Amino acid sequence: MLPDEPGVTVIADDNYFSNREGYQPNYIILHGTAGGTSAEAIANYFQSTQGSSNPVSSHYVIGRDGEIVQCVSESDGAWANGYISAGHDPWWSSAVNPNDITVSIEHCKPSSDNSDELTAAQKDASFRLIKHICQRHNIPARKADGNGGITGHFSIDPVNRANCPGPYPWDELWSFLQQSEVTVLQISQVSQYFEEIEKDQRWHCKVASSLDGKQHDIAYGLLAFYRTFGQVGLNGLSIFGLPTSDEIHVPGTKQAAIQFMERGAMLYDPGNEVDGVPGLPGPCFPAHIDKGPGQDPRIATLTKQVTQLQTELQNCNGTKPSLVPASIKRLFSRT
């Protein structure tokens, strides 16, 4: 199975209704796992229920660390919301299997009653995933009503699933979805430099980098960060300037990526494998430029030059001043 959402881990299972039995998704249903912390462990559990008396699945699982695992294609119906109980919201009906018209997202919550709040990384991953699913399927990006939208499992099965997903930052989700309706590229100063390739997902820089002469894109998580970090209206442009590299995977990490900019480097590091900024929510932050993956390559070049000059200087000890290389003389010249 190919992932629908960029950057997710795929752990597929066979617990789904193929092609949604002819329906289209019009709702997103949020769940809590009532146990467990790792998205991969929950996805492995779904796999283990294949062929059992109670096979279950979900399209996505989001771990406490913000990792997203996809288990079922968005074009199929997952087995997450079969049962409709008394007191359900009026638009659900036994005439249409809810699984055929919903996309389900599980959130790992260790408590058996789902009483945990989402972690910051989990919330960020959840909000962005929801927004992208809405865009892909034209699902109304708001609280569910008879025309579609986003709600919890409690909407379908209030008798048995009143605590699914449990606490969820609904109000924050609504304002996040509203804000992101406005595209920053409508602001002329930003559109001088970028054109939108994929709505809210990829910006192509129209200006070639002064470092390598190439035009670079900013995409996905780093674009979300660039768009929301910095001065209102100019956003990342006001702090980082333009990209001087593509997004580069940080070797030795699972998910971290770095992108060099004119005035620093942006790090996508949802698992805090490289670093973290206390108090800054979300998976992205500015990288250190003196060390680590964000080190400016020009610093390494300068360090190398200094070492070379020091060696030359040592070799010159005791020799006639006329034999001292011009590069060294310049270093010590006072005029």
Residue with smaller CB distance to Zn ion, 103 or 164: 164
Cβ-based nearer residue to Zn ion, 153 or 227: 153
Q: Which stretch binds Zn ion (CB under 5 A): 91-99, 151-159, 275-283, 310-318?
A: 151-159
Stretch that binds Zn ion, among 69-77, 116-124, 161-169, 182-190 (CB under 5 A): 161-169
DSSP of 252-295: T-SS-EEEEETTEEEEE-TT-SS---TT--SSEEEPPSSSGGG-
> CA 253 → CA 79, 256, 269, 274, distances in Å?
33, 6, 9, 8
Q: Is 156 in the site for Zn ion (CB under 5 A)?
A: no
Shortest Cβ 157–Zn ion spacing (Å):
8
Residue 164 sits in the site that holds Zn ion (CB under 5 A): yes
Of 5-13, 153-161, 212-220, 312-320, the window that binds Zn ion (rule: CB under 5 A) is 153-161
Task: Compute the least distance from the CB of residue 164 to Zn ion, in Å.
Answer: 3
- Within 10 angstroms of residue 45's Cβ, the number of other Cβ atoms is 16
CA distances from 59 to 209, 230, 249 (A): 39, 34, 26
Contact (Cβ atoms closer than 8 angstroms) between residue 194 and residue 202: no
Minimum Å gap between C-beta 154 and Zn ion is 8
Q: How far apart are CA 126 and CA 107, in angstroms?
A: 8
> In the range 18-57, which residues lie near Zn ion by CB under 5 A?
31
Q: Does 59 bind Zn ion (CB under 5 A)?
A: no
- Residue 184 to residues 87, 94, 180, 196, 282: CA-CA distances in angstroms? 42, 42, 9, 10, 19
| 109 binding Zn ion? (CB under 5 A) | no
Residues that bind Zn ion (rule: CB under 5 A) add up to a total of: 3
Query: Toward Zn ion, which CB reaches closer, 88 or 153?
Result: 153
Which helix (H) or strand (E) covers residue 302, if one does?
helix 297-316
> Taking contact as CB under 5 A, which single stretch among the options 6-14, 83-91, 141-149, 156-164 is the one that binds Zn ion?
156-164
- What are the Cα distances from residue 241, in Å, to 108, 158, 210, 236, 266? 37, 50, 12, 7, 11
Q: How far is the CB of 138 from Zn ion (least distance, A)?
A: 24
List 59, 123, 153, 227, residue binding Zn ion (CB under 5 A)? 153
Task: State the Cα–Cα distance between residues 25 and 105, nearest whole angstrom.
Answer: 13
107 or 216: CB nearest Zn ion: 107
Residues binding Zn ion (CB under 5 A): 31, 153, 164
